[in-house]
Amino acid sequence: QGQLVESGGESVQAGGSLRLSCVASLYSPGTYCWGWFRQAPGKEREWVGNSFTGQSSADRVNAKSDRFTISQDNSKRTLYLQINELKPEDSGRYYCGLGGGNCFRLSSYKDWGQGTQVTVSS
């Protein structure tokens, strides 16, 4: 499967915006769930949104909230997560994953990056 590296997390004020990136060094031929998850301290990792590897349109992109926008650049093997109107509850470590099956389920993902930290202060 793939190696994933996330970046873009930082400490921001509530109301601001961030764009996170996930670069996949490689992935096997085929279509896989390519998703973003968030994990706050003491909580389970939760689905934020997903696309699919190699996808060229936004038709099958899913996101938890209208404040989250998933996009990708297939030529760069990069998945993006734009978060607008940041809230303190958006704080956590954001992980990028690759997997198959039900893209909303944590158990569907087999490869993960190291995550990138987002901290939103009020």
Taking only the tens place, the pLDDT of each residue in 70-100 is 999 999 999 999 999 999 999 999 999 999 9
C-beta of residue 114 within 8 angstroms of C-beta of residue 5: yes
**Residue pLDDT, tens place only, 39-61:** 999 999 999 999 998 887 777 78
Residue 28's pLDDT band, with cuts at 50, 70 and 90, is confident
**Residue pLDDT, tens place only, 104-114:** 999 999 999 99
Helices (H) and strands (E) in the chain, counts: 0, 11
State residue 6's pLDDT score: 98
